[in-house]
Each structure stands twice: as C-alpha cells, then as structure tokens.
Chain A
C-alpha cells in the first residue's frame, strides 16, 4: 500500500535519493532498499535525501530518517535533507530535526 516513489541518482560520490508522495510507515521497505544500496557503494561519500516532492511525513518516517542517520555515520558518510517545504518543513521543525541533521 505504499504511495511513495523513490528514485536514486549517483554522481561524483554524491547519492541523491529523491522521494515523492506520502512518506510514512508503508514506505519502510522501499526506503530501506534505496538507501542500503547507496550505503553499500564505497564510491558514495554523501547521501542527500530530497524531500521536495513529499507531501506528507509522519513520525515513522522521522524514525526511519534517524535510523539512516545512524547508519550513514557508521559508514563514515555524510547525510543531508534537502528541499524541505510546507508540511514537511513543519513536521521537521516541531521535531527539532535541525539539531540532528544538516538541512539544506
């Protein structure tokens, strides 16, 4: 019942995971597969999660981002959340994720 589309592109050691749609518990498997692939890629130095087309995100999604944060730092890679707008921006604000993530 997932309603999220995830596309991944990698260039010069930068992996961009672009997400579109509803980022919630049902996105769990897809999201994990997407980031695991780039985490396992030794050429990738930085992960960017592009939330520009996400129109909703819930606390499970925040949890998945925290898990990713832990895994990227364990893999010695950098992580950033980008293009946060509207509802996504609000949810991240309330959760004070700016204290935990690089948000561009």
Chain B
C-alpha cells in the first residue's frame, strides 16, 4: 500500500466535506469526494480508493446501504470503510459493522483521532493486501504445480507400466500417500516363462520418491527379458541407484522369481517388510525377512545379491508388502502391524483373503490419509500347473522376416570358461545378448534360452561341480541341491567348460549348432535320455528330455561330458 492514500470522503454537508478533505490533504493523502450514497458507490468504482470515510445520514442512499452495495459489488476486494456518525448508540455501530463497515468516528470529527484511525486502518489494509497477494501467488503456484504434477504422474504411470505383465495369478493394490506413489510393483516374464516380480519403495513419498524408482524400471524389464537371474538384476539395480541417486535416497526392494511349473521361487529382500508364503489354511509356511540393506546403499563390492530359495509342495499365496500396510495408523496413532496382518490372513478363507486384508487396513485407517504409500502384491502359487510345452511366441502367423534373413549372418562363437568366469558371469543371458546383436530371430528366443540353460546347467552342475542329481529327490531336495550348488561354486578351484555356438546351413535349413564340453567324468547318458518326457514325477532327466524334444538332433560324445545339439531356425 502506498504511503500516500487515496481516500473517498462521503458527506452531504459541504462544510464537513471540505474540513475533512483539507485535513486529509494536509496529512499527505489524496481525496475523492461524494455527496450521497449513490455517488459514493459510483466514485468507489471509478477511483478505487484505499479507504472510505462514510457519513451515515444522507439523501438518495444512506451510508449503510452504500456500504452494503460496495461490499456486494466487490466481495473479494477489501477496502476499509469508516463511518462518520453523529449517533453514538451502540445499535447503530453494530448495524454499521453488520453491513460491512470496519470502524466509526463520532461527529464532530476530532482530527487527532481521525489521523490515528487512518494510520491504524492503513496498517490493517496493508496486511490484508499482503494476504490477498500471497493467496493469488499461491493459487498461481498451485495451478502450475498441479499441471506439472499431472504431467509427471502421466509419465511415471507410463514408464512403470510400460511392460507390465497382466497375469491371471498376480494382483496388486496400491494406495499412494500423495499424488504419487514412491512404491512401484513390476512384473515380467523371462524367456523361459518364469515370473519376475519387484516391489520397490523409494525414500520418502510423493514425486521425489517416485523419481527414485524410475531408474529401477528399465533395468528390471530389460534384464528380465534377456533372461538374467534376479540376483544379477539386484546387483545391477544397486549399482545404478547408487550411481544416480544421492546417498540419502535409496530404494527398499523385494525381488522374486517364480517358476510355476517347477514350484520354485527365489526371493531377495532388502529393506521391505517380510514377504510371506501363506498356504490355503492361512498358515505362514515361509517368511522372507529383509536380510540386506536397501538398494543404493552398499558399493558394488559390498553388495550381497544372495537370494533365498523355496519350493512349495502345497498350493499357496505369496504376499509382498511395502512398509505402508504395516505402518498404516488409526486416529490414535496405533499401527496396523505385522501381527494384525498375519491374523487377517490366517482367519479368512483363501479366496477372500486379499480383499479382507485391504478392507481391514482401510477400516483401521478410519478414513485418515496414509502417511506412506501402501502396496500389497499377491501371487497365487498353485501345484497343478500342467507341464508347459515350450512357448511358441508366434501367433500362428509366420514370423516376420527380418531383412537379414534373406542373407543370414554366419558366425561361430567359442568360449572357454574357467572357475573365475563361472563364478562371476551369468553365461546364458550373455550368450543370448550377443546373439541378439547378430540379428538373431527373436521368435526362437524362448526355446533357445531353455536349451542353453539346460545344457549349461548340466555341464556345470554335474560335470564340473559333481553334484548328484538324485539329491533333488526327497522333500527338501531342491533346496539342498541349490544350496550345495552355491557352496560348491563358491569353492570351485578347477574345471573348464567350453561352449561353441555356430549358425550354419545344413540340409536346406538354417540351423544353430551348440556344443558344450566340460572336463568332468561324464555320465551314463543312454539311460537318462530314454526317460519319457511325460514322466514328470522324477525331478531329474526331464530337462534333457525337453531339450531333445526341441532340437532336431542331440548327440553325446566322449564319456558323456560333451553334448552337441542342432536347432532348426528356418
């Protein structure tokens, strides 16, 4: 508000009008004059005064009505109006204030008091103006912010759902604390049809938390589609977040891979509440507590990507949580808690469990806003999944012919792996990635991935690590097997594994030839390969039978420590 005010003086008595105007001019302010209520309203509109001195008793329209009219016309523009009144009855003052007046001065006007009142009103008006201005600025800022948030929300939604797998056995519930969720839940299939899941919770809430998890998305989808194991994905995610984000920004994550046909899952949990495997009766069969710090804290060398393995023999459900559901508070600040959560899971029939859990959390919160993003992922794990025939990714139509297939690239790749490589490299995805660079036809990816994986694992597990596959028989066989594989690989000192892959033309067909040789003792391959593929009761030998069914030729040589397969591409 300027130091010099524009003051509207309203009075039907000329001497009063002159006296007050003169005095005000002497104080250094400007005056505008009106001689009745109507004129006052007009002048107010034309001149936009900073203050009005309003006589009450006037012809045409009295001061009360003029004031009421001004307030009606300009509801959002507060200009102080002071009544000059000969009446000193309380009722009149009340009426003046009711119609929108702010103050009054009794006539005859005491100039000293008038000056003081003008100053006081000026101070209030200044505050008022400041508030209006701030409110306007806030509103502009809020609108801009809303627009930017909308865009960011759209982008984040698109990025996180870009490759999201819609799968009948997966459900997700997410309730963000603000516009944004710092939680993301991703699901994707590997080339071998395993399900990979990631529940990630970035530090804090809202937009900045959502930004934290963006780098995660691309790595997860990219590496899953190339067939990397979740331990490799965890390692890479950690490296990436550490590299991109400031130290105080990290991402708690639960990573899971699920093989529905073998009924095996691997879990890595860093910083999230326990993932739970609950059977049909509601009993928690297995819980995976957080055994690592969150992603983005440890350096690459310190990071531990070790996963925990579980083989389910009874159907059940896997539940994954961010800390939101556990920490959801009611009005008295009491948390929902893990105990209450497992109680809800235990006391509800399997088909209603998920909905009941969500309802229980919702009712616990009593309609209060969530402090933190709430995410719950559910994956149903049956036991009667039919042994899948290898996926045909074509939809019956002939595969798209790449320009390169007219004159396919010919190549041959040879690798010789010693213990130090075998311990550190995820070999099969690396091979596939290399073949992708050679314009390898992606329609065969799934099958080739399966073949490579089976043959490579056979050579490594039995040829080099000398693990007996009969170990898999028995209730905890698979766990024991994988544990032993982990230990033996970590201690491996000797052993050589040779891989040769070649793309060649034979008998009018495009073929992929793959040879794997280890320096182990071989095995009685004649008995294994005669296993009927439909005999899926035995945990060993199935893999090889599967490979045989996919390839045009499979030959063992040496003492069984060398295998060559031919796969028809076209």
Contacts and interface: CB of A to CB of B under 8 A. Distances in A.
Given A62-B203, A63-B203, A63-B250, A96 B271 contact: yes
Query: Main SS of the interface on chain B?
Result: loop
Interface stretch (A12-20, A38-46, A64-72): A64-72
Contacts of B250: 59, 62-63, 66
B469 interface: no
Contacts of B271: 94-96
A100 B297 contact: yes
24 contacts: A25-B204, A58-B372, A60-B203, A60-B204, A60-B248, A62-B203, A62-B250, A64-B248, A66-B248, A66-B250, A66-B297, A67-B248, A87-B335, A94-B271, A94-B272, A94-B289, A95-B271, A95-B290, A95-B293, A96-B270, A96-B290, A96-B293, A100-B293, A100-B297
A99 B293 contact: yes
Contact of B252 (A59, A93, A97): A59
Contacts of A60: 203-204, 248
Interface string B191-212: 0000000000101100000000
A95 B291 CA distance: 8
A97 B293 contact: yes
A96 B291 contact: yes
Contacts of B335: 87
A59 B272 contact: no
B249 interface: yes
Interface in B239-256: 246-250, 252
Interface in A53-103: 58-60, 62-64, 66-67, 70, 87, 93-97, 99-100
A12 B285 CA distance: 52
Interface of B: 201, 203-204, 246-250, 252, 270-273, 289-294, 297, 323, 335, 371-372
Contacts of A96: 270-271, 290-293
Contacts of B290: 93-96
A102 B323 CA distance: 24
Nearest to A98: B293
A70 B270 contact: no
Interface of A: 25, 58-60, 62-64, 66-67, 70, 87, 93-97, 99-100
Given A25-B204, A60-B204, A94 B323 contact: yes
Contact of B249 (A25, A58, A63, A93): A63
Contacts of A93: 290
B201 to A, nearest CB: 7
Given A59-B201, A59-B203, A67-B246, 10 more contacts: A58-B371, A59-B323, A60-B204, A66-B248, A66-B297, A95-B271, A95-B293, A96-B271, A96-B291, A99-B292
A70 B297 CA distance: 11
Contacts of A100: 293, 297
A95 B204 contact: no
A99 B250 CA distance: 15
Nearest to A99: B293
A58 B177 CA distance: 14
A70 B246 CA distance: 11
A31 B375 CA distance: 30
Contact of B273 (A66, A70, A94): A94
B247 A66 contact: yes
Contacts of B246: 67
B248 A95 contact: no
Nearest to A59: B203
A97 B293 CA distance: 7
Contacts of A67: 246-248
A70 B298 CA distance: 12
A58 B248 CA distance: 12
Nearest to B372: A58
A62 B247 CA distance: 10
A95 B250 CA distance: 11
Given A58-B372, A60-B204, A95-B271, A70 B247 contact: yes
